[in-house]
Amino acid sequence: MLRFLLNRFGTMLLTMLVISMLVFFIAEVVPVDPARNALGRYASQQKVDELREEMGLNDPVVVRYVNWISNVLRGDFGESIHFRRPVRDLVKMRLGRSLALAALGFVFMIPLGLALGCIAGITEGKLLDRIISLTGGIFVSIPPFAGGIFMIVIFALWLRWLPGASLPDPEASLIESIKKLILPILTLSLDEIGYLARFTRVTMAEVMGSDYIRTAVLKGVPRTKVIWRHALRNALIAPFTAIMMHVNWLIGGVLVVETLFNYPGLGSLLYEAALRNDIILLEAGTLVLTFVAVSTQVIGDIGVYFMNPRVRFE
Amino acid sequence: MSDSSNSSLSKTPPTSAAHERRKRDGWFRRVISELVRSKTATIGAAILLLWVLIAIAAPIISPYSPTEMPGGRLESPSREHWLGTDHLGRDVLSRLFWGTRVVILLAPISVLLGMMIGAPLGLVSGYVGGVVDMLIMRAGDILYSFPTLLLFILIITSIGPSPLIVVLTVALGNVTFITRIVRSLTLDERTKDYVNAARLRGERRRYILLREILPNVSGPIIADSTIRVGYAIIYIGSLGFLGLGIPPPTPDWGGMINEGRDFIFLMPGVVLAPAAALSSVVIALNMLADGIREIGQQR
């Protein structure tokens, strides 16, 4: 038990270390001079050189990496070139909003995806299963940005039910604020629901065909009880892992959805950072989001460890 | 299209004449006769074929050049412009047709590149095992825990967007997945008799990997690559949508959505058309993949 946890956290630390190096060195290639970028086009070369010296840009790469990472570990991500504010504050504020969006998405997509998948798995081969499988197949195939476009055109332009942009307005009422979040959440959930439903369907169908379920049915246990008490418990472990494995994909979705709906989360901040060549901000945001992804994966592993006794004895 | 001689082949032992005929039919016929066994695969393949034809015929069937500005800005669909014009007065239909080329070319190339790196890594990792295997898999795990789209954005922002960089980045994103699949397939194959026989014959390791194992694992790899191409299209589209894809004015579906989304309430067609086109290609690819899996299970 303790060994398992230590192993997981050790791997996580190592992964984060390598990723921080990757992020730093990829960002190094950037052709734009950060000092020049900060001072503007009309600053004299002498000023730029002075700032370069001050920012430590003339030190060897390894020295700069060590300086950077030790600052990051102390919570200092440097200052954004474009926003001229500490990256830490920007990221902190935006990350909260992104997590809120993702959490609301989860609350919506997980029950729906699991329920649809279970229904399809139980009715395998019947019409209901075919409808769910086909819709799920289409949902997973629609890229998030295209899905978002469809949502905006259908619900905001044609039906006029919901707003097409999600910029929060502090003066708007609660209902208005919630309304603004519906389309981003729907867009985010669309392919996640399809993915989960397809995944759950396969495991559910497998479990329903297994010996112990057949035994329970033959023993005369009522069908609903077989499904609720026996099948679901085993069928839901795999989808749980699946959604944890999908966090990386979900982060991409959050980024696209936030950009499309002008939702001021970490994703749209990174989009802006990329647009403005604000490499310091991009570096920090990437690191933070990757940390979120990696720790979710570890939490997922630990969750499976507790949910499935079989893993413990391997 | 339904090749009765081929479908009967699978039931009766091949006579030399039938065998000859099958050889003469060539791989294309054989692929088609396999595909029509699944309705899903047939529909998917048909949609894809349509897009490929559009990509090839783009210069002939496009009413205008994709970069010329023959109309007024943001015109509604009319007889001159079936899908209207965009914010610069370019014909949306022509850009849609030409944009097919970007998708149809770049996505498969990036998957192919990913395969050229990932397949050897997976083969070696699965066959050799030990420290080599551990190193390759650990490196893959680290790359795998990096949110893919973020990695792409970071690389492209650093280096600057160009078709080559987009292809290389998406290829890199494919490597981990392909390595994993090829490795697990190789692990299954390596203990089989034909591999042992080759080893006892004294064949070199490179020969065993490339001539013995690779042909036997290529089926599942190809089936998986259909899904990979779908993902590549989504990623290339996402990059275009974020303004980090193929630089304008080259017509690219993701880029068209990026440029047109500010005018979505004015002229939804400008963004709806590429969004629908992109979705249809990915849906078709996934249908094809599902169909191939179905056919595999029928055996």
pLDDT tens column, B275-284: 999 999 999 9
pLDDT band at B5, cuts 50/70/90? very low
| B233 contact residues in A (CB cutoff 8 A) | 143
Chain-chain contact of B286 with A141 (C-beta, under 8 angstroms): yes
- The whole-number pLDDT of residue B270 equals 85
- Point out the residues of chain A with pLDDT beneath 70: 29-41, 166, 168-170, 309-314
- The whole-number pLDDT of residue A311 equals 60
**At which residue do the structure tokens 């039938």 appear?**
B18
B181-206 residue pLDDT tens: 999 999 888 888 888 888 888 888 88
Whether B271 shows a pLDDT value over 80: the answer reads yes
Structure tokens at A80: 């954004």
- The whole-number pLDDT of residue B23 equals 56
- The whole-number pLDDT of residue A37 equals 66
Whether B20 shows a pLDDT value over 70: the answer reads no
Instruction: Give B 15-54 residues with CB within 8 A of chain A.
Output: none
- The whole-number pLDDT of residue A45 equals 77
The residue of A7, A149, A157, A283 whose CB has the most chain B CBs within 10 angstroms, and thus the best one to mutate to test that interface, is A149
- The whole-number pLDDT of residue B22 equals 55
Whole-number Cα distances in Å, B193 to A207, B197, B198, B211: 33, 6, 9, 15
Structure tokens at B93: 């239909």
Q: Does B241 touch chain A (CB under 8 A)?
A: yes
Whether B104 shows a pLDDT value over 80: the answer reads yes
| B142 contact residues in A (CB cutoff 8 A) | 15, 18-19, 22
Whether B238 shows a pLDDT value over 90: the answer reads yes
Alpha-carbon distance of B86 to B75, in angstroms, equals 7
- The whole-number pLDDT of residue B283 equals 93
- The whole-number pLDDT of residue A74 equals 85
Whether B72 shows a pLDDT value over 80: the answer reads no
Alpha-carbon distance of B187 to A125, in angstroms, equals 33
Whether B14 shows a pLDDT value over 60: the answer reads no
- The whole-number pLDDT of residue B299 equals 61
B27-62 residue pLDDT tens: 777 777 777 788 888 999 999 999 999 989 888 887
Chain-chain contact of B145 with A297 (C-beta, under 8 angstroms): yes
**Pick from B141, B271, B285: CB nearest A149:** B271
- The whole-number pLDDT of residue B21 equals 56
- The whole-number pLDDT of residue B4 equals 41
- The whole-number pLDDT of residue B123 equals 92
Q: What's the gap in Å between the CA of A196 and the closest CA on chain B? A: 16
Residue predicted with more confidence, B76 or A3: A3
- The whole-number pLDDT of residue B10 equals 43
- DSSP characters over chain A: -HHHHHHHHHHHHHHHHHHHHHHHHHHHT-SS-HHHHHH-TTS-HHHHHHHHHHHTTTS-HHHHHHHHHHHHHTT---B-TTT-SBHHHHHHHHHHHHHHHHHHHHHHHHHHHHHHHHHHHHTTTSHHHHHHHHHHHHHHHS-HHHHHHHHIIIIIIIS--S-S-----TTS-HHHHHHHHHHHHHHHHHHHHHHHHHHHHHHHHHHHTSHHHHHHHHHT--HHHIIIIIIHHHHTHHHHHHHHHTHHHHHHHHHHHHHHTT--SHHHHHHHHHHTT-HHHHHHHHHHHHHHHHHHHHHHHHHHHHH-HHHHT-
